[in-house]
Amino acid sequence: MFDIGTGYRFVMIEGTSDGWGERVFTETVIDIDGPLLKLASGSIINSHSSLFVSADPVTMIASASSMQEGAEEVLA
């Protein structure tokens, strides 16, 4: 379900002084031990927790300039 080295957009339920809400953040998974995900920031998330809502892979979109540079290297 998760891949090491991949960035994910996480949604977690979080309790605050104002009540319950969603915390949305993007992090890279650097290690996996069963349901536990170690993130690049050093945080550990239990993906089986009732506070875990979702995690969607983040896809990186290449800029036009980097695509152009790559094309120039192929043509050279």
| Residue 43 near residue 15, CB atoms below 8 Å | no
pTM for this predicted structure: 0.74
In a structure prediction context, what are the per-residue pLDDT tens digits for the chain, which is 76 residues long? 899 999 999 999 999 899 999 999 999 999 999 999 999 999 999 999 999 999 999 986 655 544 444 444 444 4
